[in-house]
Structure 1
Amino acid sequence: MKKENKIGFLKRGCVSLCSTENDIVTVSIEGPAILGMAQMFHDTQSHYIRCNRDCEIVVIDTFNFIQLLTQKKLVVPCVYDNQPSYENVLSA
């Protein structure tokens, strides 16, 4: 997903995130979960996804994902060193 600038929503199933460097499983994740957020603002791809059993994953473009989060007031756009970034809004 990183190479295509996408974020994934794991609706059901279980996936493992594996290191691209040595194929070691870093973490296993049960759905529902959002996949790829940690890599959104990094240039390199450090992990790939391996499905451990039947999975349903919905994929969305990173730009559209950020717009959706902003519209739902889940993040606030910020600018650091003239580079756009986002910080979480903690609200009840």
Structure 2
Amino acid sequence: MYTDLPEAELRAYRSGQLDPADFDAFWAETLAEADQHPLNVTVTPVNAGLRTLDVFDVTFAGFAGQSIKAWLRVPAAATGPLPAIVQFHG
């Protein structure tokens, strides 16, 4: 693993970033707004021509109910919980 600091310095590091005074109120309001919209999740299998992955086109409601589109790729025939990586383009 490559890092900017040696491990001991990374463990001791504390950011100088301070939360804004309204940080907790902002998130409480944002989460309350999110609860006002159903997720409206749709998951559609996609034939991507891959043997080792199952691919799905996923749509769900995000901020203010706006649609968010995503590709979900999982190991073929996977069952149970899996680790995840979220990659945002844009």
Q: In terms of Rg, which structure is larger?
A: 2
Please identify which structure carries the higher helix content: 2
TM-score normalised to the size of structure 1?
A: 0.24
- Normalising by structure 2, report the TM-score: 0.25
Structure with greater contact order relative to length (CA < 8 Å, sep ≥ 6)? 1
